Structure 1
């Protein structure tokens, strides 16, 4: 039932069959249809989500009322509003399914219990968060050091399958420009 998550964990740390069974008692599988929210602004984020199938995004509404996507997660990626989740504070973000999606959730009330019972997972999550932080830093660097067109071409070259999966307005938001500008870039091909 959770083999995809176990396979991902095993890339970083090895869990025994008994440890996998303990972890299974702390997990919850959730299916959501496209455009359904796992989190809305003002709510407290209740879980950290591992994407089994589909795509979710983290976004906020800026001062002009526009959606600003800050993260996507596809298969084998984690997504959460970590500030809201870890500190149990109301979120300033939304988590929404960009496609019909299946996730495995680790809910807040099981998080510390998981680390107590399965200390290897602290290493796993540290390594996953390090990779996530590095990717976030590079994204910020690209936003400031590349032109909009360069950002699109770089993203398209790095994640070509991803560009085909998500709606144009979400991709434009993530890359820091309007859907109209994205249409112009694509028309140049």
Structure 2
């Protein structure tokens, strides 16, 4: 059968995600305004700039004759499928987004979504600060962890001075919450 008539991936795009990016079944896709705007900007870039430019290249390559040995055509079509898949993923994530403004949270003395939490690991006396954000905006190198991570789940609803126990990949840990703020 000709490849043009075969759909490569009928599966849900969510299945191909790493476990850290999958949302728990039935949960909302919480994200901060910054995370929402970043997804919108990426979608806009793909739809308005990258995809049209690539379509032009593929059309030019298709006009050059034999497509079976035409690298520009073959790799262009592959990249076009990747872009289209990412666009579908971004549209789903944006449609299902529940944007939470951390500064408008109720109960500012407790840890909730959007909180920036400073704590001390009681085993190592190491102090750390993390902001609890959406799955799509988590970035450990910038101090942002997903609200579904084990650490964030353990910290939820804690207050300053509370000692939180949880099991990390390195084993059981005890943390003392030093500060909770919403920025």
Into which bin does the TM-score normalised by the smaller protein fall? under 0.3
* TM-score when normalising by structure 2: 0.27
Structure with the higher fraction of residues in helix conformation: 1
TM-score normalised by L of structure 1 = 0.26
Question: Which entry has the higher C-alpha Rg, 1 or 2?
Answer: 2
